[in-house]
Amino acid sequence: MFMSVLQVALGGAIGASLRYLAGVGVLRALGAGPFPVAVLGCNILGSFLMGVFVVVAAQRGLTHLSPFVMTGILGGFTTFSAFSLETMTLMERGDIAPALLYVALSVGLSVGGLALGLMAARGVLL
């Protein structure tokens, strides 16, 4: 168990650093803009890489690397990749309604939770 946690921690540090560098790179290339291009790009790329890794790991017997790669690197790079994988797993099982509900609840409640957190912090701090 300790080794898995260590793999996740190391992978998370790598993924988070890559996400930061991607943001800096996009800022330098495009300048500051009103749309979060870097975050969107990380979410799309991370989700794509999650899909590739799931198939390759299963075919080549590399699932033991999942804590490091999926939870660590890709989770640190973007938590959206895990969300996308869970959604696709539901859809591939034929659970379309639960998949749609999962998407709606995840996005809606996460944005709502963030809004509540902002309001709570602003009420306490201001």
Give the mean model confidence (pLDDT) for residues 38-54.
Answer: 91
Is residue 100 within 8 Å of residue 108, measured between CB atoms?
A: no
Is residue 40 within 8 Å of residue 19, measured between CB atoms?
A: no
Whether 75 has a binding-site annotation, put simply, is yes
For residue 24, the model assigns a pLDDT of 94
Rg of the chain over all Cα atoms, to the nearest angstrom: 17
For residue 67, the model assigns a pLDDT of 97
Dump pLDDT digits (tens) for 12-25.
Answer: 999 999 999 999 99
Sign of the dihedral defined by the CA atoms of residues 9, 81, 15, 7, in that order: positive
The candidate with the shortest Cα–Cα distance to 12, out of 75, 80, 66, 54, is: 75
Mean pLDDT value across the chain: 92
Contacts of residues 55-64 at CB distance under 8 Å and 24 or more positions apart, as own/partner, are none
With 0-12 CB in 10 A as exposed, 13-18 as middle and 19+ as buried, what is 29? exposed
For residue 125, the model assigns a pLDDT of 59
Query: For residues 68 and 32, which has the higher predicted lDDT (pLDDT)?
Result: 68
Whether 61 has a binding-site annotation, put simply, is no
Instruction: Indicate the pLDDT class of residue 55, thresholds 50, 70 and 90.
Output: very high
- pTM metric for this prediction: 0.80
For residue 80, the model assigns a pLDDT of 86
